[in-house]
Homo-oligomer: A and B are copies of this chain.
Amino acid sequence: MAGIIERYAKHLPVTEKTPRLTLHEGNTPLIFAPKLSEELDLEVYFKYEGLNPTGSFKDRGMVMAVAKAVEEGSHTIMCASTGNTSAAAAAYAARANLRCIVLIPNNNIALGKLAQAMIYGAEIIAIEGNFDQALKIVRDICEKHPITLVNSVNPYRLEGQKTAAFEICDTLGKAPDVLAIPVGNAGNISAYWKGFKEYYEAGVVDSKPRMFGFEAEGAAALVKGEPIEQPETLATAIRIGNPASWDLALTARDESNGHIDYVTDEEIVEAYRKLASMEGIFAEPASAASLAGLMKMRKLGRIPAGQQVVCVLTGNGLKDPNIALKSVGVDPVVVESTEEAVLGIITQGAGV
């Protein structure tokens, strides 16, 4: 299967000169969830974006941003990021022979999260400041020098990301009734809405879904109506206090007759575990905000029974396995090396 630029060229800002750059992003599975469907009295699917090349939905937007950078003659891309964005930027830069510079704050660097960007060959610079300062420096440098900014203010990012909405419609043969999605920087909910609207306007589908976005309680800027100075949540990928696509997200909500709400960290962890242990899907903690939100909406009666719902899972669980370990929270039972000892544990049903 070709990548998104080739498959969706006529719906994207690509020209004959746009390189058909790809790591075979997109074409991610839409996984039906039989048990959660029954439990919630809905028809539930998961759009599992963790199976993109670098493990998150960011690849869709980044392949567009990097391809356009190449088309425009750029030789260097730059972003401020400590997570999924830097991995995607570094991978596509490697593929396209561009230099990739990643700015990170020096406080609390989790090197594990940067392993991907580093192995893809990005140059990492840590500043003695916070994330906002890193982003400001990146923006200032990219304004004055021939370096392409690939943070989410780059408009090609949302263009690429909207292709996930196309894929959902292509797979189902129609738009779902409801799209449930985690909200951090609010770019993804905006991109999906753009994609659904464009497919509707092009006559590919004859309806649009209601958009339900879910922030983490400790980073619920949209729900609370004001930026959060010190956002806090274990779902690091949506730990954002001042979403860049604030207005677009509210537009998606209002135009679609949808809703934006928050979920607690406890609800996120519960959904995260259910997803893995009931349906066999291991996603990033932040991804589980979509399922956590859906469960909350059903309890509150905001989504009627019988509806077809697609929950977006934005990233692969392997990005952050420590949360899995902490959430399970027990060490394995240790027994002597005999058949009898092992059978004893199995019969008690007392394994971990």
A325: which B residues are within 8 A, CB to CB?
Answer: 111-112, 115, 118
A55 to B325, CA, bound (A): 18
Indicate how many identical chains form the complex.
2
Binds B, one of A99-107, A179-187, A197-205, A229-237: A99-107
Q: Is the CB of B127 within 8 A of A335?
A: yes
A29: which B residues are within 8 A, CB to CB?
Answer: 1, 23-24, 53
Q: How far is the CB of A131 from chain B (nearest CB, A)?
A: 11
| A278: nearest chain-B partner, CB-CB | B94
- Residue of B31, B337, B346 touching A133 (CB-CB under 8 A): B337
Restricting to A20-67, which residues have a CB under 8 Å from any CB of B? 23-24, 27, 29, 31, 48, 51-55
Q: Is A120 among interface residues, defined by CB-CB distance under 8 A?
A: yes
A285 to B272, CA, bound (A): 28
Q: Is the CB of A120 within 8 A of B276?
A: yes
A127: which B residues are within 8 A, CB to CB?
Answer: 334-337, 341-342
- Residue of B53, B109, B141, B276 touching A51 (CB-CB under 8 A): B53
Q: Is A16 among interface residues, defined by CB-CB distance under 8 A?
A: no
Count A-side interface residues using an 8 Å CB cutoff.
Answer: 82
Q: Is A279 among interface residues, defined by CB-CB distance under 8 A?
A: yes
Q: Is the CB of B119 within 8 A of A53?
A: no
Given contacts A141-B342, A335-B126, A339-B140, contact A119 B280 (CB under 8 A): no
A316: which B residues are within 8 A, CB to CB?
Answer: 55, 316, 318
A147: which B residues are within 8 A, CB to CB?
Answer: 346
A172: which B residues are within 8 A, CB to CB?
Answer: none
Given contacts A137-B337, A137-B339, A137-B342, contact A332 B124 (CB under 8 A): yes
Given contacts A118-B352, A119-B317, A127-B342, contact A279 B141 (CB under 8 A): no
Q: Is the CB of A27 within 8 A of B53?
A: no
A95: which B residues are within 8 A, CB to CB?
Answer: 279-280
Restricting to A87-135, which residues have a CB under 8 Å from any CB of B? 91-95, 101, 103-104, 106, 109, 111-112, 114-116, 118-129, 133-134
Q: Is the CB of A351 within 8 A of B124?
A: yes
- Residue of B55, B280, B351 touching A91 (CB-CB under 8 A): B280
Q: 8 A-B pairs, CB-CB below 8 angstroms? A: A27-B27, A123-B351, A123-B352, A125-B334, A126-B335, A127-B336, A127-B337, A316-B318
Chain A residues proximal to chain B, CB less than 8 Å: 1, 23-24, 27, 29, 31, 48, 51-55, 91-95, 101, 103-104, 106, 109, 111-112, 114-116, 118-129, 133-134, 137, 140-141, 145, 147, 272-273, 276-282, 316-319, 321-322, 324-325, 327-328, 331-339, 341-343, 345-346, 349, 351-352
Known: A91-B282, A95-B279. 4 other contacts (CB 8 A): A119-B273, A120-B277, A147-B346, A318-B318
